[in-house]
Amino acid sequence: MPLRSLLYRRATEPDLITVYLEEAAYAVRLQRHRQARRYTLRIQPNTREALLTMPPRGSLREAQTFANKHASWIAARLARLPKPVAFAPGAIIPLRGAPHRIVHKSGMRGAVWTEVAPDGEQLLCVTGAEPHLPRRVADYFKREAKTTLAAASRRAAGELGVTVKRISIRDQTSRWGSCSTTGVLCFSWRLVLAPAFVIDYLAAHEVAHLREMNHSRRFWRLVESLCPELDKAKVWLDANGADLHRYGVTVEASR
């Protein structure tokens, strides 16, 4: 069989397998990776499921055995995840570090905006039919993330004299941002939930890679020159970064 065909999931191979621990069942998503040399497990905080990476020539039987062996680890890691917060009326969601309460305003055309209540509480107002509210909120955060991160990235790029070709927004789980050799920066939309100094740090980090595609001392000096609050931002992410993945998780996905 040609090697290329081994890199993709077989037609009869399932996307998910199940492991059992005592009376609980846990779904494990499968993926093959061309560079994998062994079976590995990690937890996807945004989907709240286990992801098992398989070598190109790995078998489903070996994957099931590996997952069964680590059932306790899977259960413990999933139990440690912060309680999910769905995008729903009454939910408190941070926006640029400030808590906002979602308020559904029916009887108006679909839109999302922020306002301050008479008592000083910050609100995220969402119109349109209530079943569409989670999607409207998610779309709003993605738009805000792109606008905010694009502005921060271009400020940093201007200071370094480099050019950002394009800004891409995704829901990444393994990293907050990335930079390609072609000048495309990719960020997690969840960064818009974090305070401004964290956003500025991540933008500076990826822009600095346009000069230094490494993490050398020279690279970190560039980042610090762009973001004086680098250390503060790194401490914040270490303490609170995982918590950002709990927002927007549906009840079904968290089970």
Does any domain span residue 207? Answer: yes
DSSP bridge pairs for 126: 104, 112
Does any domain span residue 85? Answer: no
Q: Are residues 221 and 103 in the same domain?
A: yes
Q: What is the pLDDT of residue 18?
A: 93
What are the start-end ranges of the E strands in the chain? 16-21, 24-32, 40-44, 49-54, 92-95, 98-105, 112-116, 122-127, 166-170, 177-179, 184-188
Which residue, 28, 54, 80, sits at the end of a domain? 80
Q: Are residues 75 and 103 in the same domain?
A: no
Q: Are residues 239 and 197 in the same domain?
A: yes
Give the best-scoring range by mean pLDDT among 5-9, 65-69, 245-249. Answer: 65-69
Which residue, 80, 101, 122, sits at the end of a domain? 80
- Average pLDDT value for residue range 103-126: 91
Q: Are residues 114 and 197 in the same domain?
A: yes
Does any domain span residue 87? Answer: no
Which residue, 57, 80, 103, sits at the end of a domain? 80
Does any domain span residue 196? Answer: yes
Tell me how many domains the chain contains. Answer: 2
Q: Are residues 106 and 46 in the same domain?
A: no
Range in 57-66, 191-200, 241-250 with the lowest mean pLDDT: 241-250
> Which residue range is the domain that position 45 belongs to?
3-80
Q: What is the pLDDT of residue 255?
A: 42
List, edge to edge, every strand of the sheet that includes 16-21: 16-21, 24-32, 49-54, 40-44
Q: Are residues 72 and 102 in the same domain?
A: no
Question: How many CA atoms lie within 13 Å of 130's alpha carbon, on the beta-carbon side?
Answer: 8
Q: What is the pLDDT of residue 80?
A: 85
- Average pLDDT value for residue range 203-219: 95
- Longest CA span, the chain: 69
- Average pLDDT value for residue range 138-157: 96
What digits encode the pLDDT tens for the residues 56-94?
Answer: 988 999 999 999 999 999 999 888 888 889 999 999 999
- Average pLDDT value for residue range 238-252: 81
- Average pLDDT value for residue range 144-149: 97
Q: Are residues 34 and 110 in the same domain?
A: no
Q: Are residues 58 and 127 in the same domain?
A: no
Q: Are residues 59 and 110 in the same domain?
A: no
Q: Are residues 35 and 134 in the same domain?
A: no
Q: Are residues 49 and 76 in the same domain?
A: yes
Does any domain span residue 86? Answer: no
- Between vectors from CA 86 to CA 114 and to CA 143, what angle results, nearest 5°? 45
Does any domain span residue 63? Answer: yes
Distance CA 222, CA 4 (A): 40
Q: How confident is the model at residue 133 (pLDDT cuts 50, 70, 90)?
A: very high
**Which residues does 118 contact at the CB level (< 8 Å), separation at least 6?**
none
Q: Is the pLDDT of residue 251 over 70?
A: no
**Residue 136 host element (H or E):** helix 133-160
Domain harbouring 195, CATH code: 3.30.2010.10
What digits encode the pLDDT tens for the residues 160-172?
Answer: 999 999 999 998 8
Q: Are residues 116 and 215 in the same domain?
A: yes
